[in-house]
Every structure is written in C-alpha cells, then in structure tokens.
Amino acid sequence: MKIKCINHRLLRKIVKVSLTQLAIYIVFSSITMAMPARAQELLETKVNLELVNVSLENSIKEIEKSSQVKFSYNSRALKLNQKVNLSANNESLSSVLGRLLTPFDVSYVQVSNRIVLRKDDKKIVPGTETSSVIDNLIFGDLNVKGSVTNAKGEKLPGVNIAVKGSTRGTSTNSNGEFTLAVPDNKTVLVFSFVGYKAQEAKVGNNTNFNLVLFEDIKALD
C-alpha cells in the first residue's frame, strides 16, 4: 500500500514538472515567433501618398507621417535634395521604399522598430546589423570611447553621455566605460550623473576620454 502511495506521489510530481516545462516552452516559443512577425508587419504597413516634384528628404518625412515608421540616416551620405515623383495607394512600405530609393542607389535595413537608410556601397551582411555598425552608418565613422570617474578615482556606472543638440547618447557600463559613434570632431558631448555637476567636452582630435565628474554640493543638500 505504501509503495502504491509513493508511486502515485512520484507520478503526480513528474506530471507537474512536465506540464510546467511545457508551459515555459510554449511561452518562449510564442515570443520567438512574435518577434519576426512584428518585423514583417512593419514592412507590410500600408502607405498612401502622392508626391510630385518633392525632395527625397521631404518624401521620407511624408512616408514617416503616412506609415508611422521612423527613419534614420546619415544626411551627408544621401543626396536628399533630389526631386521625387511617387504615387502609392494602399501599397506596402517595402514596395514603396523599393521604388523610391532604388533610383538613387539607396537601400535600407530594418533595425528593431526603425528603418535605416544607407548608400549601396556600404554593404551589410544579413544578420550582422549590430548597433555599432548601424551607428556608423547613421552618424559617421568617428568612434569615441573612454571612462568616467569621480574625484576619488572611483569608476562611475550609469553616467549619461549625450551628443549635444540631439537625442543620440549612451551611458557608462558597470566599469564606468563607454563607446559612442558621433557625426564628426565638432561634436560636443554632455556628461551628466545624479549628484554630480554636468560637464561638456568637445570631441576635437580626442577620441579617448578620461573624464572626472565632481559632486554637486548644492544638489546633494
């Protein structure tokens, strides 16, 4: 009798564990399947517009309004003043972009929920669109890096580093270090952290920053 009770308990435990594992598998499978589906949905967004003798730059803005999709690009790499004539009636975004960009030797790649435009001479192997590669396509080839410490020489994680006048930025990692792609050497970086005085630094010829932030006594009070 005892053996039967033990077997029943053991069987219930095995079934319980199996059902739990099955539930976890189903959840992760649905998440994995949903991600490429959303990516596909973005390019299948329907677009309606009528463009006559409109610059490429304004054409991109009109598509953004029509499709609620955000574009990123390096304005220095694209000839945005070229005129465009384009008509689309309930046409997919991928089709519209193909007709709009191909004549200007411009292609696109989807990164998360945005579309990055690039000249065709900058090839990206499918599946290798890392954030650093995309940053360089958009903002140029100038990378800056460095570390941020306090007056005691202690590394500061979570310091915000922003490109002044834009929404571009990053933050220091757990070791107080950062890497950021910027447009050019005229870029001004703004370093800010709670309880410390914000500082600005022009990139210039310096691509490796070792910055010290000082406590803001007034803010601490």
Q: Are 178 and 147 in contact (CB under 8 A)?
A: yes
What count of residues does the chain have?
221
Amino acid code (one letter) for 128: T
> What pLDDT is attached to residue 122?
46
Alpha-carbon Rg for the chain, nearest whole angstrom, is 26
- φ and ψ at 212, to 5 degrees? -115, 125
The pTM (predicted TM-score) of the whole model is 0.41
Give tens-digit pLDDT for 129-138.
444 445 554 4
Angstrom distance (rounded) from CA 221 to CA 15 = 59
Alpha helices, DSSP H only, in the chain? 2-43, 56-67, 93-101, 131-139, 217-220
> What pLDDT is attached to residue 190?
93
pLDDT at 55 over 80: yes
Q: 197: closest CA among 150, 155, 162? A: 150
> What pLDDT is attached to residue 217?
73
Surface-to-core class of residue 139, CB atoms within 10 Å of its CB (0-12 exposed, 13-18 middle, 19+ buried): buried
Angstrom distance (rounded) from CA 72 to CA 84 = 19
> What pLDDT is attached to residue 154?
92
pLDDT at 70 over 60: yes
Tokens found for residue 38: 């959303």
> What pLDDT is attached to residue 149?
93
Q: Are strands 142-149 and 114-119 parallel, antiparallel or unpaired?
A: unpaired
